[in-house]
Amino acid sequence: MKKFELYHFRKQFPLLQNTSSPRHDKNGKHSAIVYFDNAATTQKPQKVIDSQQDYYCHYNANVHRASHQLSSKATFAFENSRTLVQGFIGAHSIKEIIWTKGATESINIVVQSMARNTLRPGDEIVLCASEHHANIVPWQIVAQQTGALIKILPLTKQGYIDVTKLDNIITDKTKFVACAHISNVLGRINPVEKVIAKAKSVGAISLIDGAQAVAHLAIDVEALDCDFYVFSAHKMYGPTGIGVLYGKKEHLEAMPPYQGGGEMIKTVSFTQETTFNSLPFKFEAGTPNIAAVIAFGESINLLAPYLADINKGYHLYEQELLNYCYQALAKIAQVNFIVEGIPDIGVIAFTLTGHHNHDVATSLDTYGVAIRSGHHCAMPLMANLNIDGCLRVSLAAYNTMAEIDYFIDSINKFLLEPCLEQENPVEKGQLTSTPTNDMADILTLFAKTKGWDSRHREIMLLGKKLPRLEKAQRNDETIIAGCESLAWLSVEQDNQGLFSFTADSDAKIIRGLLVIVFAAFNNKTAQKIHDVDINDYFAELGLMQHLSPSRGNGVLAIVDKIKLLAKP
């Protein structure tokens, strides 16, 4: 057990710069980030970082396969982390702890090694409506492979699994039940004990996705009595690229290997059948991520004492942060929480009336506030809630009240920004051609900007110059696939073979990016359009490094559709 003290906890994370609040330089610009994207990944303490470096500098060797001293030291540290995981989640045996790349791979192992070999046409798989894509898509794949059917557990208005529907959804036809311990969007602790018990009553296998739970709850898999429990190190202050598949020993022993290769074999012959290694090595083909496994042990050493503290200082501080942030957001008139009531952990999902989620997140980024926007790898949940996406603030125990104050202040500044005033779509018959800026104009404009905050403002201002399309023009034929924000594109070609593009988007920042893209492509022949190197153009503007992968991919999706429409 270890008493939680914010200052001592926070100072262990170098990226946070050992500050309790955002700092500002003499020009009033932020010089430290406010990191509120912890549900995606947490920051790493110095001991985790040092542990990986220490392995590479002082005892780098492969594990299990050699008799020399370096290998022995590496193997001891590697297996010590497995023992730490066993104790951390209360597993009965060390053989029940399988190293994987993360929760996603852990789920795929269960799906392809067990479900694919046991499901039959007409069998049923039960998932929850709020699942992460990682706990949906693998099951969809195996359902297609086997002829099994997927059924969905609905949610209450508060965002929990509706336990009153368990008897109707989980039946004698159910063979697998998979659900998240805590939703990565709603922050609800699901009643997994009741789900597991119901699955067991009909003979179904239960898999619990604990990715969002392990940094906040003390986990006891034997008490839960689930068949499988999966999680990733990087969401609990550990390194990326390493995760855990816990499985009851009898299931793991009955399952065939997921992959073949070194370490997972006992004997190999061209003349006789290959035999496989014992648990846990049967599922660990190839050289593992040794440095990450060893560093994972350090993150457990950091976190486990706080979760075991009978005074619950760590937990109580997380709840204080959650309550403070939720109440502060609730005071902003434009804030709409996507489900009723305060979450159970510091994961708060909301929208701002009149503003696209991506516009809010990119604007907050200019203030140095990192939050998440989009569908959060939970598109079925978004559809269930009848929204296209939302904003998500996810807190960790190293965050501070001062950071929350700064975040709220940044939202209020965003709402007052004059360049973000709402504009209405053009009425039928009004001009719908795009602004006449060419590449030289855009390059000259951005040459005067310094930093992402000024570039972001210019993009938003350019977006105001893009005439809005009529609703009739925003349809399935003009929609741009691959752009996370809704965007539409149409084209005309004149007698001289010159192409003219018109477009619209529900996000202001995408409208600004459309103006920039059109400067490169409008009023050109098909050949000149296909000759444009958009990557060089955006690199010269200094934009690509500031765009998230989803935003960058959205720009490329726009470019791809332009080139598709402009056929030579």
Take residue 295 and report the two structure tokens written for it.
């560093």
Distance CA 263, CA 284 (A): 7
The type of residue at 522 is: N
pLDDT at 434 (0 to 100): 45
Q: At residue 428, does pLDDT exceed 50?
A: no
Which residues, other chains included, contact 106 with Cβ-Cβ below 8 Å and sequence gap of 6+? 98, 100, 228, 230, 231, 243, 244, 245
> What sign does the CA torsion over 23, 29, 31, 33 have?
positive
**Residue ranges of the domains in the chain?**
6-46+333-419, 62-305, 439-565
Evaluate whether 152 touches 129 at the Cβ level (below 8 Å). Answer: yes
Query: How, if at all, do strands 243-247 and 228-232 pair?
Result: antiparallel
pLDDT in tens, 527-560: 988 888 888 888 888 876 666 555 556 778 888 8
Percentage, residues of the chain above pLDDT 90: 63
pLDDT at 561 (0 to 100): 87
- Rg value, the chain, Cα: 26
Q: At residue 77, does pLDDT exceed 60?
A: yes
Distance CA 384, CA 130 (A): 9
Take residue 421 and report the two structure tokens written for it.
């005033």
Q: Which residue has the higher pLDDT, 425 or 115?
A: 115
Mean pLDDT over each residue of the chain, to the nearest integer: 90
User: Top-level CATH class of 62-305?
Assistant: alpha beta
The confidence band for 423, taking pLDDT boundaries of 50, 70 and 90, is very low
Take residue 214 and report the two structure tokens written for it.
């392990």
pLDDT at 451 (0 to 100): 77
Q: At residue 418, does pLDDT exceed 80?
A: no
419 is an active site residue: no
Distance CA 243, CA 233 (A): 5
> Which homologous superfamily does the CATH classification assign to the domain defined by 6-46+333-419?
Aspartate Aminotransferase, domain 1 (3.90.1150.10)
Percentage, residues of the chain above pLDDT 70: 92
pLDDT at 429 (0 to 100): 35
DSSP state of 212: T
pLDDT at 427 (0 to 100): 39
Q: At residue 422, does pLDDT exceed 50?
A: no
Q: Which helix (H) or strand (E) holds 180?
A: strand 174-180
The confidence band for 433, taking pLDDT boundaries of 50, 70 and 90, is very low
Q: Which helix (H) or strand (E) holds 374?
A: strand 372-374
> What sign does the CA torsion over 453, 459, 463, 464 have?
positive
Q: Which residue has the higher pLDDT, 23 or 235?
A: 235
Q: At residue 430, does pLDDT exceed 50?
A: no
pLDDT in tens, 441-492: 888 888 888 777 788 888 888 888 888 888 888 888 888 876 767 889 888 8
Per-residue b/e over 51-70, b at no fewer than 16 CB within 10 Å? bbebbeeebebbbbeeeeee
Evaluate whether 288 touches 78 at the Cβ level (below 8 Å). Answer: yes
CATH number of 439-565: 3.90.1010.10
Distance CA 35, CA 294 (A): 26
> What sign does the CA torsion over 454, 459, 464, 465 have?
positive
List 377, 390, 419, 483, catalytic entry: 377
* Max CA separation in the chain (angstroms): 81
Average pLDDT value for residue range 105-133: 97
Strand boundaries in 239-328, DSSP class E: 243-247, 265-267, 275-276
Distance CA 507, CA 511 (A): 6
Q: At residue 504, does pLDDT exceed 80?
A: yes
Of 32-41, 46-55, 396-405, 423-432, the range with the lowest mean pLDDT is 423-432
Distance CA 227, CA 89 (A): 13
Average pLDDT value for residue range 347-370: 93
Distance CA 298, CA 315 (A): 20
> What sign does the CA torsion over 430, 432, 438, 442 have?
positive
Please give the distance of CA 164 from its chain centroid, rounded to a whole number: 30
Take residue 451 and report the two structure tokens written for it.
């930093």
Average pLDDT value for residue range 169-193: 98
296-305, 476-485, 510-519, 548-557 — most confident range: 296-305
Q: Which residue has the higher pLDDT, 390 or 453?
A: 390
Which residues, other chains included, contact 156 with Cβ-Cβ below 8 Å and sequence gap of 6+? 162
> What sign does the CA torsion over 381, 387, 389, 395 have?
negative
Average pLDDT value for residue range 282-310: 95
Of 28-42, 113-127, 333-347, the range with the lowest mean pLDDT is 28-42
DSSP state of 470: P
The full DSSP string for 78-111 is HHHHHHHHHHHHT-S-GGGEEEESSHHHHHHHHI
pLDDT at 431 (0 to 100): 36
Total residue count of the chain as it appears in this document: 568
pLDDT at 545 (0 to 100): 66
SS (H, E, C) 103-156: HHHHHHHHHHHHHHHHCCCCCEEEEECCCCHHHCHHHHHHHHHHCCEEEEECEC
Q: At residue 346, does pLDDT exceed 90?
A: yes
Q: At residue 524, does pLDDT exceed 50?
A: yes
Q: Indicate the SS3 state at residue 337.
A: strand
pLDDT at 566 (0 to 100): 86
Whether omega before 425 lies within 30 degrees of 0, making that bond cis, reads no
